[in-house]
Amino acid sequence: MDFAFSDEQEELRRMVRAFLADTSPETEVRRLMETPEGFDRALWRRMGTELGLQGLAVPEEYGGAGCGPVEVGVVMEEMGRALLCAPFLSSAVLATTTLLRCDDEDARKRLLPGLASGELVATLALTEDSARWDAEGVRLSARESAGSWLLTGHKMFVLDGATADVVLTVARTSDGIGVFWVDGDAAGLTREALPTMDPTRRQARLDYHDVRATRLRTYGDGWDLVSDVLDRAAVALAAEQVGVASRALDMAVKYAKVRHQFGRAIGSFQAVKHLLADVLLKVESARAAAHYALLAAENEDAELPAVASLAKAFCSDACVQAAAENIQVHGGIGFTWEHPAHLYLKRAKTSQLLFGDPAYHRERLAQRIGMGMGIGMGMGMGMDAVGGAA
């Protein structure tokens, strides 16, 4: 595999970084954190129509750019650096990937153009009270009635679930797991925003009371589709974590150069040098892991499931370490609400647990290469922190 980015991909990075510098500075992030929706719909549409970011992975026949996972990863990395408040992970990654990987051409034709342009926001509703990321955690039921499907139950920790126009819902049927298309304003669907540790990424509880839905056609069992989508989403999130970690390291290095104690910049002290060197090693290793996983997804490599778990586990820990050490370097000021360091730590911590924590993914990696000893209950560990108030 060639790890080098092409000139076009590097130009995409520069364009997105410049755009986010103008539209997502810290002041705007803090403003959007306090709004009911948590993001700017007008800016979301600009991202779709002017930059085409939501449609990067969407084929041209549906109004997209026809790019692939690597380009999406480049964008996710830059969005992580800027802590962008927008439903990109839920809509442009989770929901869009579900539609692209399913066997439902009608759903693609009806939904992908709107998702690519930014006119629609969609999400994938999977986890429930157990916070498990496997098929055993799916308890919401779907039953056929008068030629349609009715969903009953509830979902928890749904990314952007309170504001999405379309909710792709994973439910249990008499013949296994299915994925269902539900309109956000469907009768019988109630949505409640949840307090979260990370206010830049919204989550919600969704209650279904005989909600009418359309089942997506899938290749084989529906869980095979969901598992594939989760692997690809974990890779995209790993790229975002690299962006968060890289930005946290930059902040720490910059502060170490200007903060003086005993007549010297604190960056000249050996202890600080070693700390920052350790973080740099972790960040660059995480970058390599994420880029390799993106290429595996791009090339439809058979090792993607194992590589996805490897990247998610390593990048999660590296991101949390970089964000935590950034606060350590800043000292007391890093703990204050006025400083952005804590925002990066909150994003790092919640991302660490999203789609399964590092212990879960290390066990999945062992299983996927034939060394597993049983996952047990660790897969949902820590989701109360993801969905809990700081």
> Residue 379 pLDDT > 50, yes or no?
no
10: closest CA among 248, 291, 323? 291
Chain-wide mean pLDDT for the chain?
A: 91
Q: What is the pLDDT of residues 35-81, one digit of tens each?
A: 999 999 999 999 999 999 999 999 999 999 999 999 999 999 999 99
Alpha carbon distance 314, 234 (integer Å): 11
Q: Would you state the pLDDT for residue 336? A: 87
Region 137-145: mean pLDDT is 93
194 DSSP assignment: P
> What pLDDT is recorded for position 381?
39
The answer, yes or no, to whether residue 194 has pLDDT greater than 90, is yes
pLDDT on residue 97: 97
pLDDT > 70? residue 89:
yes
Sole residue written with tokens 């989550």? 203
User: Please, what are the domains in the chain?
Assistant: 7-121 (1.10.540.10), 124-221 (2.40.110.10), 223-387 (1.20.140.10)
Task: Give, as one character, the DSSP assignment of residue 356.
Answer: S
What is the pLDDT at residue 373? 54
Q: Tell me: the pLDDT tens digits for 218-255?
A: 988 899 999 999 999 999 999 999 999 999 999 999 98
Each residue of 318-335: pLDDT tens digit? 999 999 999 999 888 887
Give the pLDDT confidence score for residue 330 in this predicted structure: 87
For the full predicted model, state whether its pTM sits above 0.75. yes
Q: Tokens for 209, please give them.
A: 């009371």
353 near 386, Cβ under 8 Å?
yes
